[in-house]
Structure formats: C-alpha cells, structure tokens
Structure 1
C-alpha cells in the first residue's frame, strides 16, 4: 500500500514466524519487487496503483521509486523474538530505563483469522473464538543490562495469527520512539 517494511524472522521447532515494521518512507504507488542495486547500494522498487488494493486515494498510476540512505542514523527495532514467557525486543540504541520498564509503554492486541474459500476474514479472539481482539497483559518488563533490549513478560502468551504492538518509548537521550509492529506467533518456545 505504498510502504516498505522490514521483517524479523524466528524459527521455533521447525515453524517460521515473523514480525514486520514499516519504514518511514511513503511511496506514490503501491510497491512491489524491491531490489538493491549492486552498483550504488540503493533500493529500487516498481509500483502500480493496482498494487495499492484501492486503499489509498490520489496515488500515481505507476512509478519507479528509489530509496537511498542519507547517512543519518536511524533508530530501529532490530529483532523481535517470542520467548516461553513473553516477547523480547532488541533495539539499535539505548532505551530510557523509566519508559522501557513501564508496561504502559507497550500496547499489545492479538487476534486470529478464519480460513475460508473467499478472501478476507473478521478478527477473532484467540481466547474465546468470538469476533474481536484480545489485549495481551504484560506482567513485567525486564530491561537488559546494555539498555538495548527488553523482555515483555506475558504469562498467557499463546499462538495467534496476528499480534499488533504499539511501542511508545524514549531513548536514553530523551528522543521519542513510537513504533507499530505486527507479528505472527505460530509457536511459543518451550524454554
């Protein structure tokens, strides 16, 4: 729908699962087939309005996009791993301990989809099976000694087709870091 995402993969007992985060670049079309040009190291992607899914109005009919590194540092979530007792998040910068340890800095919702012959599905609670989402309760947040990763302790963590995480944190130098992360939990590790 006009954005690039980066993906963080995890394999648990032979099953793959992943988290995605949208990069801050907005394209003029839906985009497809991004590639890194070996001669200049920049990312190029083609785009057509048809790949937009008719979700956004006013986009171009077609475009070739170049996404180039500006040399400026980027603050990023670099890894997301499901653990037996929660979700571990790793960053490429140090977090402010007060915001990082506060469970209210993280809002997590989860839901499942129903597979059918037709495209699309409502969202269903993994707990009740009824239409809706479940809030994932965080009992505690553990900040690593290096200040660059946290473990969100979630006592009732379970598989879900979709988990939506809103992160509202601050860096150690008081810069806000707000991120939206989507992940799939196919399998929770045993320990």
Structure 2
C-alpha cells in the first residue's frame, strides 16, 4: 500500500501517482520472480500500481490485476486480470463503496485459496490457528475435537502436549504418534496435514 501504515489512517496526497516509489517499496521487501504481485485499483489506471505490475513482470513474477473498469491499463499489463464490474457508485467517485467491497471479496477468495493450498486448513478447519488468547485456545480445542472426533479432555491434553499447535495435536491423535514423530511427518509433507495423514 503506497504511503505505508500511515496511509491507513491519514491521507497521503499524491502517493498513488508516484511511479518511482513502488520500485523502492518492492525492492525493500526483496520482491523477486518467485513472488506474485496483485495490483489493486478501482480505476485500473493508477500509476503506482501500473509501475508495480510492470516492474514485477520485468522480473518474471506472476502478476494479477484487480480493477473495477473493463479492459483497463492494468488488465493489459497483468498476466491475470480480475475485473469487478459493479457499475457507477451511488456517490460518484466514492470507490470505497461498491468497488472496494467487490475487490475485498476477491481478496478474501485469493487469500483463502492460498491458505488452503499452503496447508493451513484441513477439511473446513483453520488448523494453523494461533491460540494466543483464551478465545482462540477454545477454538483450537473445538477444531481438534471436530477433526478427530475426540472428546474435549483428549483435545485439551493433546493441545497442551503439542504446545497449543492444533495441526500437530490433530496429527498426533489421528496417527497415534508421539509429538516428535508427528512433527517430523508434518515437516516431511511441508506442513500439509492431509498429505501427512496419507503417509
């Protein structure tokens, strides 16, 4: 996001027109051909985003554009063009309304699919949940219970043994392995629980 964290709460005038800044931003995170760049702009012609897509393509990275105008400049540049054609905004020019909502839905789909492919989910469960507070610890217990069909006591005990790692606890219960054995098997399968369970 051009303007960084500050731009989340405060306007950064002219930031979206700065085509040089995107190069600095991408280089600062060591963006490479192994990454994917998703460029987002309601108009499909924001200079900052266009320059970012061009830079990513020059490296050989996969590029995706999300715009709310058909046949946009961004769509012509990107390898994959996603067009959220929502029609005119109820408040002319207020692209945070229909356009922003539609684009957020697309981002939800992209990130959810990515997390599934990375093995962060098992069935419809978020098995990589970080149990960092009481609410999430309770959720981890429910996830383990649902994935393994075990009772609450076994789920809680195994989660304690697995250092509150729901995925590891599920692996231990379903495969009847020790913590260290289950961990090795998960690592062998890049953390993908379904693959590890097939062995």
Normalised TM-score (structure 1): 0.22
Between structures 1 and 2, the one with greater helix share? 2
Higher Rg:
2
Please state which structure has a larger fraction of its residues in strand: 1
Q: TM-score, normalized by length of structure 2?
A: 0.22
